[in-house]
Amino acid sequence: MHLSLLFHVLALAGIQQDAPPPPVAPTLTAPAPNWTDVDGAALAKGTLPASTTAEARQAFELVRLAPRIKLAEPYPLTGFDLRVDLRYRGADGQRNDLPEAQWQWLAPDCMRLSTGRKRELVRGPKGDWLIDATREPVETLELGVAREHRQDKRALDEGVALARTVQTLFDLSQLRVRRFELAQAPSCPNEALSTRARELAWAVVETPDLQAPAAEGRAVPTMVRALLGWDKTTGLVEQAQLAELKPAQGTDAPVQGPVMAHLSLRDHRLVDGLLVPHQFALFSTNAEGKLRGEAAIDGYLRSATLKPQLARESFAPPVVKKD
């Protein structure tokens, strides 16, 4: 459904700021045993609750097929290699432009984030690493739990979490759905997004198969409530808003937690048979839990492949020969 970036690049780019402790590294977890769909049935991939209306089912199919409408033979997404022009805006007003940044992912948890300035973060079979090719010889630093590594590890956590969500959204038949129903447009970060949101069709989907960035003091939620807004003609999703679902004490039904992020996705073009947005923006929340009016991250996709020739070994740090 969409490809977008969700990772912090401050440490790589040399911007310093005080940051909260990172969340626990995200993992794909099953929903709580007592969480079923809204009708009380067990969650199953690609199965909507029996009470889902015919109109909602039709909308689900439109959104499911939209990015693959020109694809003759469906294929699973198991990796990608993206190059983007990226802009980061800090909450304190600092801005950082990263032309030709790179984002590589190989399922389930291999990740490379590069600024295009010969500094990159890597998660692979040998752990998390910072690789600095500006030095001679190349400097490799294994990331641990020290405070100075928190931003870097959080960047990898969020990159992997989003990559897994992207994998799921490109094939909604793999989604376990607790609820899917038509909805109204949500409150958006700014007026421009609100104007477009009123022109879109919207639905809410509750599922354990999406991941979203974690806030300070809590891990990635095991159930997410996503509001999806799509073009009524093409079915292509242009906006999405993610919130946490929390188990409610004394009942099987979860309750909505705070909004965690709002995504804007535009300019869909074909990449390896799939329609992929080439302009994207992530709006995060501020210290008060409200969506910021200006995007924390926005970018433009310069090139991409959804069928990269990657191996797990390529996500290991280089072996540096010592004299």
Domain of 194, CATH number, reads 2.50.20
User: Any idea of the CA torsion for 211, 213, 219, 224, to the nearest 10 degrees?
Assistant: -40
- Return per-residue pLDDT of the chain as tens, 323 residues: 333 333 332 222 222 222 333 333 344 444 444 678 999 999 998 899 999 999 999 999 999 999 988 887 888 889 999 999 988 888 777 888 888 889 899 999 999 998 877 889 999 999 999 998 888 788 899 998 777 788 888 888 878 877 887 787 777 888 899 999 999 999 999 999 999 999 999 999 999 887 655 555 455 557 889 999 999 999 999 999 989 888 776 566 788 888 888 999 999 999 999 999 999 898 988 888 889 999 988 889 999 999 999 999 999 988 766 65
221 within domain boundaries: yes
222 within domain boundaries: yes
Give the other-Cβ count within 10 Å of 194's Cβ: 14
Predicted local confidence at residue 220, as pLDDT = 55
Rounded CA-CA distance 141/148 in Å is 12
Predicted local confidence at residue 287, as pLDDT = 80
323 within domain boundaries: no
Domain hosting 299: range is 34-308
78 within domain boundaries: yes
Provide the domain count of the chain: 1
Predicted local confidence at residue 237, as pLDDT = 93
Predicted local confidence at residue 28, as pLDDT = 40
94 within domain boundaries: yes
316 within domain boundaries: no
7 within domain boundaries: no
Cβ neighbours of residue 188 under 8 Å, at least 6 residues apart?
194, 197, 239, 241, 262, 291
229 within domain boundaries: yes
Predicted local confidence at residue 213, as pLDDT = 53
Rounded CA-CA distance 5/306 in Å is 15
